[in-house]
């Protein structure tokens, strides 16, 4: 039978559709084709490097991805007039001071150079930026870019902070702490090309021109002990820097040698490639199995973790942890998850540290071994690693070889036996003396037993003969 709407029904199933008015089909076809004309290319351009953090990652800890006091770039522009009004005024004042200085810096030159970069700069943002005109975008790049450059220069050259009027950042001690957080957010970045052009135009003294943009930025973000332990402030980038967060990532992973941390044994390469990376036990459990933890020298890339199967020594560079470490690592991981270029190095490191740290006991143990320099509560530090990379993916895990070797060593019962022996009987000089004394006593007892039986028999035989 056939329904009223033109569907031919056979045994309850629709087999074909007959529509009398072909104009409906043609009209819908034209409508869809008009929409598809604007989708002839991938919505993600190859130049995209600044992203809105995916909701599945953001929901783990929303405050780690959102600015507190300042908006940089267009993603959080809708809150500038209210939430970030104070720093919008600071940006204007910084730019006015820059233009008023006794130099040849002209606003027209800044506008022209950013107008030339407009297309390439806007293409760096994965967000569509609907409703933002070219003029608004260029103004934003100038205000935000000059603000960042003046901020970094004032940190680098103390005399620039000595202004007749009080500086709203350097005269308020807590401001820089908030800025460290906000300026390293993935959503709060400017294209590096914009910063470079503005820096070349506005460096208004020999001392400023002598400092590279890379040096200015890394100097600003290396003011705490935790930063100095992690960043290579002498970095010479070997590839094109995309933005400030990308530069900081490069300064963290610079010097990483994958051969020391990931190379499996030759006869185990194929075997390990066929299965998921091995999760290893936490630090205290590994220690009980005979694995010894040693701290690498300061200045070593934090990713250069090594394991020696012969003596069971796991060498780990020092990592400093404070209140800024968590948001920084989360945004670095989000960047690795979104961008096509970076390998998942920071994500891999987070996975390995999560393996090693399950509780405050693990944190305390690694602090005793001078592997962690922790300025947080031990419980908070443990939770930091446990939830750092939730809802992310690790492609090309950097520590699969090392994890396999550590796991194999841990599963060997002989190593556990030797560790128990060492811990229970050789941990202190008195324990060693007691063990030696007990061994000598046991040896004497055995000797006495061996020699007592023959002499007794001899004495008994002699007695009978007598």
Structural domain spans, the chain: 7-39, 55-253, 273-420, 428-466
Q: Examine the pLDDT at 461 and tell me if it is beyond 60.
A: no
Would you say residue 269 has pLDDT above 50?
A: no
DSSP SS3 for 396:
coil
Q: Please enumerate in sequence order all residues whose Cβ is within 8 A of that of 402, keeping only pairs 6 or more positions apart, or say none.
A: 261, 262, 305, 306, 307, 352
Whether the predicted model's global pTM rises above the 0.95 cut: no
The span from the CA of 46 to the CA of 123, in Å, is: 9
H/E element holding 307?
strand 306-308
Collapsing DSSP to helix, strand or coil, 126 comes out as coil
Percent of the chain with pLDDT over 90: 48
- Is 398 a residue whose pLDDT tops 60? yes
Model pLDDT for residues 283-323, shown as the tens digit of each residue: 999 998 889 999 987 778 999 999 998 889 999 999 999 98
The candidate with the shortest Cα–Cα distance to 391, out of 65, 52, 60, is 60
Instruction: Give the helix/strand (H/E) hosting 373.
Output: strand 372-374
Q: How many helices (H) and strands (E) does the chain have?
A: 21, 7
- pLDDT over 80 at 2, yes or no: no
pLDDT of residue 414: 47
Length of the chain: 466
CA separation for the pair 427, 419 (Å, rounded): 10
pLDDT tens for residues 338-351?
A: 998 778 999 999 99
Spell out the residues 6+ positions from residue 457 whose beta carbon is closer than 8 angstroms to its own. none
Residue 371 binned pLDDT confidence (cut-offs 50, 70, 90): very high
Average pLDDT over residues 85-114: 91
* Calpha distance 118→115 (Å, rounded): 5
**Mean local confidence (pLDDT), 386-407:** 89
Residue 159 has pLDDT above 80, yes or no: no
Q: How many CB atoms lie within 10 A of CB 228?
A: 13
Q: How far apart are CA 333 and CA 342, in angstroms?
A: 10
| CA–CA distance, 422 with 254 (Å, rounded to integer) | 38
Hunting for tokens 């396999």 — which residue is that? 404
- What is the Cα–Cα distance from 304 to 249, expressed in whole angstroms? 15
- At 271, is the pLDDT very low, low, confident or very high (cuts 50, 70, 90)? very low
* Furthest C-alpha separation in the chain: 137
């Amino acid at each position: 039978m056939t329904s009223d709407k033109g569907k031919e029904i056979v045994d309850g199933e629709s087999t074909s559709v007959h529509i009398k008015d072909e104009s409906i089909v043609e009209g819908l076809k034209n409508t869809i084709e008009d929409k598809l004309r604007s989708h002839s290319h991938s919505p993600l351009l190859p130049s995209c490097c600044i992203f809105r953090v995916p909701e599945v990652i953001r929901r783990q800890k929303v405050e780690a991805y959102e600015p507190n006091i300042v908006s940089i770039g267009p993603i959080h522009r809708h809150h500038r007039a209210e939430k970030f009004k104070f720093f919008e005024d600071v940006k204007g004042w910084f730019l006015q001071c820059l233009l008023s200085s006794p130099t040849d810096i002209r606003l027209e030159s800044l506008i022209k150079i950013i107008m030339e970069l407009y297309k390439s700069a806007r293409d760096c943002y994965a967000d569509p930026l609907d409703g933002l005109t070219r003029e608004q975008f260029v103004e934003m790049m100038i205000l935000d870019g000059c603000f960042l450059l003046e901020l970094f220069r004032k940190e680098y050259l103390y005399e620039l902070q000595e202004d007749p009027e009080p500086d709203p950042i350097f005269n308020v001690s807590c401001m820089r702490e908030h800025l460290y957080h906000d300026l390293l957010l993935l959503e709060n970045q400017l294209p590096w090309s914009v910063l470079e052009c503005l820096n070349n135009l506005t460096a208004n003294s020999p001392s400023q021109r002598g400092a590279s943009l890379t040096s200015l930025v890394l100097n600003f973000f290396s003011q705490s002990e935790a930063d100095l332990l992690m960043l290579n402030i002498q970095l010479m980038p070997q590839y094109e820097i995309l933005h400030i967060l990308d530069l900081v990532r490069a300064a963290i992973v610079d010097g990483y040698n994958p051969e020391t941390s990931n190379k499996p044994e030759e006869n185990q390469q194929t075997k390990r490639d066929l299965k998921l990376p091995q999760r290893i036990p936490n630090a205290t459990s590994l220690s009980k199995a005979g694995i010894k933890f040693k701290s690498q020298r300061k200045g070593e890339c934090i990713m250069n973790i090594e394991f020696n199967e012969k003596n069971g020594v796991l060498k780990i560079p020092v990592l400093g942890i404070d209140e800024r470490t968590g948001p920084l690592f989360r945004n670095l991981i989000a960047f690795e998850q979104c961008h096509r270029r970076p390998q998942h190095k920071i994500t891999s490191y987070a996975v390995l540290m999560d393996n090693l740290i399950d509780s405050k006991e693990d944190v305390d143990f690694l602090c005793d071994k001078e592997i962690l320099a922790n300025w947080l509560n031990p419980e908070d530090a443990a939770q930091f690693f446990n939830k750092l990379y939730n809802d992310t993916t690790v492609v090309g895990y950097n520590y699969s070889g090392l994890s396999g070797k550590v796991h194999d060593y841990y599963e060997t019962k002989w190593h556990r036996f030797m560790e128990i022996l060492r811990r229970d009987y050789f941990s202190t000089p008195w324990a060693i003396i007691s063990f030696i004394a007990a061994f000598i006593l046991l040896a004497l007892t055995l000797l006495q037993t061996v020699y007592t039986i023959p002499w007794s028999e001899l004495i008994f035989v002699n007695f009978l003969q007598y």
